Structure 1
C-alpha cells in the first residue's frame, strides 16, 4: 500500500534520471535490484552489486523500502539444468545475506515467485518496438557479435533467442511492477534503465500517467576484470577459473589466484591507467572499491608499493580480510536451506502485496480488469 511519502517520492524522482550516490535518498523511496543466480558469486558481483546493496541499507532513511533478490527468470536465457538452477537460487540468497544484506531491513525474494512480473512483461512487450530492442548492446555482447550487428540480419536472427532480445522488457517489468524510484546498476546496464524509462513513458502516454520514471544509481565500483585477461570482465563462465575470485574461496586460493594475475612489465610506483596498464588498474579498482576510496586516494595510499609482488600481496590481504567472515557465513547458510526458504517465503509475500496492487491498477487502465 502506498504511503503519501512514497507518492511524493515517485513524483519527485521523475525529474532526475541518474544519481551518483548510494545515500541521500528521499524518505519514501523504493529501491529495487536483482542478481542472476548463475553460480558462485565472484568479486565482480560482490563489488558491483551486493556490497552496494549493503551500503544502501546503511544509508536509507526511515520509510524507504528496499527490494532485492534473484533474477531467476532472466537466468533461463542460459538454459541451465533444472537441478543447477535450483541450487544456484539458494547460493545466490546465501551470498546476498553473507555479503551483509540484512533480510530484516529489506524484502528478499526470487523473481519467479511473483508472477506479476511476467504478466506486466507481456503488457510491456505489446508497446515496445523491435527497433528499440535492436539498439540495445547487451544482447550483442551475449552473442559475441559486433555492436553494428542487426537483429534483422538473417544469420544474427537465426542465432538470437527471443528471450535474449527481450530481456530488457522483462527487466523493465521487474522494476516498474513495484514503481521503484531508484535502481542501482553498473554502467553496462544503464542503457536498459533508459529503455525502462522509455517504456514507462510510452505506457503513461498511451493509457494514462501511472508509472514513475526510476532513477539510475550508478554504482561507484569500476568494472572488475578477469585476473588472467584484463581485456574482459570477471566471469563465472571463464574457462580459466584462476581469473575469478569467489566469495567462498579460502585464503590460500585467493593468494594463488592473485599471484597468477596479469600485470605488466612496468615496475616502480603504482599508476591507474586502464588503457596502458589494465592489469594494474584492475587491482587498484578492487582495492579502491573494498576500501570505499576514490582511485586517486588509493593510488596515493599505494605510494609505498615499488613492484608487482608487493601490490599482489597487498590486494590479497585486502580481499582475504573482506571475504573472511563472509565466506564462513556463506558456508553456514548454504547448509541451512530451511532458513533461506523462510526468508524468501516472507519476501515473496511482501513483494506480492505491492506487485498485485499495482498490476490490478495497470490492468484497469489497460481494460483487462
Structure 2
C-alpha cells in the first residue's frame, strides 16, 4: 500500500507566484542544518552504478542521504542503471557495478528498513512515465540543459537517451509523488524540469503530482587533489586526484601527501586565492565533523605538510569501517541481490498505483 504523502500544494504555488526567479522557486532547504524533522513528505534520489563512490560523492551526497532517513517518513534511493546506459556499458561490468553500489550505500549507512533501496530498471513504471512526460516536453527545453550541452559538445553529437535523460530523471521523481529531492547546485536545472512537468501535467490532466522542492546540502564540494579548480571525479585521468571510499590507508596517505597546495606554509581557508589548501580544510572539517573555522584553528602552528597528516588521519578514521563493510558485503552477492529485489517490490507498490492513475487520466484506460 502506498504511503500517504502530505504536501501543501497551495503553499508551494503561492511561493512560486511570489518569487519568480529560478533559484527561489526551488524552495531550497539546507537540510543538514534542520534540527526538526519534517511532519511529512517523501524524498527521492538516485545514483548511477559507475563503480565505488569517491570521497566527493560521500561528502556531497551520501552522508546527506543517511541523515535524511531520520528526517522524513518516506525515503527512496535508487541505483539508476537506466541512466547509466546513456554511455556504453559492458554488461558484466554493469551487473557488478550495481552490486558494488548497493554494497557501498549500505556500508555508508543507508538502512533498508528506513529507506527503500532499489534498482531502477526493475521498476518498469519509470520508463513508461518517462515516455508520457517526454510527450509534454519541448525540444528547446531540453537543448538548454547542462547535461546535453556539456556531453554533446565533447562528442559533437549525442544519443537520444542522453538528450532525454532529464525527462527520465523527472519521471523518477514524480513517479513516487516525491516532495523533496536532495540535489547539488549543478543539478538544479534538471530539477526545474521535473517541477515544470509536474505543473504541466497537473494543468492538463488535473492535480496529481506535488511540485518537488530541492534539498541543497550544506557540504562544500570536494575538489580534485591534483587540480583544485575542478571537482573530484571518478573519470579523472590522474589516479592521484581522487580518493575512493575503498582506498587503503596507504593509498589515502599517498594521495593526500601529493595533493596540490601552494608555496605558503600556513594553513588558511581562502578558496579563491588558495584552492588547494582550502580543499584540504574542507575535507578535514567534513570528515572530522567540525566547522571550517575549527579545522583552521586545529591547524594553527602547522605547515601544510604537517597538516596533510592530520587530514589523512581524519579520512582514514572515517573510511576504514566503510571499506571493511563493503568488502564484507561484496563477499555475499546473493544477499545484495535479495535486498535489491525486496526494495524493488516495495518501490513497485508505490509506483504502480501512480502510473495507473496517470494512464487513466491520459486516456489509455
Q: TM-score, normalised by structure 1?
A: 0.90
Matches within 5 A, 1:208-227: 208-227=206-225
After TM superposition, give the deviation of residue 227 of structure 1 in Å.
Answer: 0.7
Residue 273 (structure 1) aligned with residue 285 (structure 2) = no
Partner of 1:275: helix, strand, or coil?
A: coil
Structure 1 position 54 matched with structure 2 position 54 = no
- Structure 1 unmatched runs, 5+: 146-154
**Conserved 8 A contact 2:261-2:276:** yes
User: Counterparts of 1:32-47 in structure 2 under 5 Å?
Assistant: 32-47=44-59
What is the rounded CA distance, in whole Å, between the counterparts of 2:80 and 2:330 in structure 1? 18
Return the offset for 1:294. 3.5
The within-5 A match list for 1:70-81 is 70-81=79-90
Task: Flag the 1:27–1:11 CA change in 2: closer, same or farther, 3 A.
Answer: farther
Alignment of 1:18-37 (within 5 A): 18-22=28-32, 23=34, 24-37=36-49
Residue number in structure 2 paired with 1:338: 334
Q: Which residue of 2 aligns with 1:282?
A: 279
The whole-number CA distance in structure 1 between the counterparts of 2:63 and 2:202 is 34
Which residue of the partner structure matches residue 343 of structure 2? 347
Tell me how far apart the structure 1 counterparts of residues 330 and 188 of structure 2 sit (CA, whole Å). Answer: 32
In 1, Cα distance between equivalents of 2:10 and 2:348:
23
- Alignment correspondent of 2:357: 361
Work out whether residues 9 and 181 of structure 1, in 8 Å CA contact, stay in contact via their aligned partners in 2.
no
* Larger displacement relative to structure 2 (337-346 or 226-235): 226-235
State the partner residue of 1:204. 202
Q: In 1, Cα distance between the equivalents of 2:52 and 2:341?
A: 22
The separation in 2 between residues aligned to 1:304 and 1:361, in whole angstroms, is 64
Tell me how far apart the structure 2 counterparts of residues 113 and 304 of structure 1 sit (CA, whole Å). 55
CA 1:332–1:10 in 2, change beyond 3 Å: closer, same or farther? farther
Deviations 1:199-242 (A, max 9, x none): 11111112111110111000122221111111222111211111
Q: Write out aligned runs for 1:189-268 (5 A).
A: 189-268=187-266
Confirm or deny that 1:302 pairs with 2:330: no
After superposition, the CA RMSD in angstroms is 1.8
- Deviation per residue, 1:269-313 (Å, 9 max, x gap): x222222211112112212222343433433343343x1112211
Alignment equivalent of 1:115, drawn from 109, 124, 128: 124
Q: Summarize the Cα distance change of 1:67–1:262 in structure 2 as closer, same or farther, 3 Å threshold.
A: same
Contact 1:10 1:212 in 2 (8 A): yes
SS in structure 2 of the partner of residue 254 of structure 1: helix
Gap change, CA 1:55 and 1:13, over 3 Å in 2: farther
Q: 1:310-337: CA deviations, max 9, x gaps?
A: 2211111110000011100000101111
In structure 2, how many angstroms separate the alpha carbons of the residues matched to 1:226 and 1:143?
Answer: 23
8 Å CA contact 2:30–2:216 kept in 1: the answer is yes
Cα distance in structure 1, aligned partners of 2:149 and 2:297 = 38
Which of 321, 333, 341 is residue 325 of structure 1 equivalent to?
Answer: 321
The equivalent of 2:288 in structure 1 is: 291
Aligned 8 A contact 1:9 1:27 in 2: no
Asked if structure 2 preserves the Cα contact closer than 8 Å seen for 1:9 and 1:28, the reply is no
Number of corresponding residues: 352
Question: How far apart in 2 are the matches of 1:302 and 1:54?
Answer: 29
Indicate conservation of the 8 Å contact 2:143/2:149, yes or no.
no
In structure 2, what is the equivalent of residue 93 of structure 1?
102
Say which of 286, 311, 316 aligns to 1:315.
311
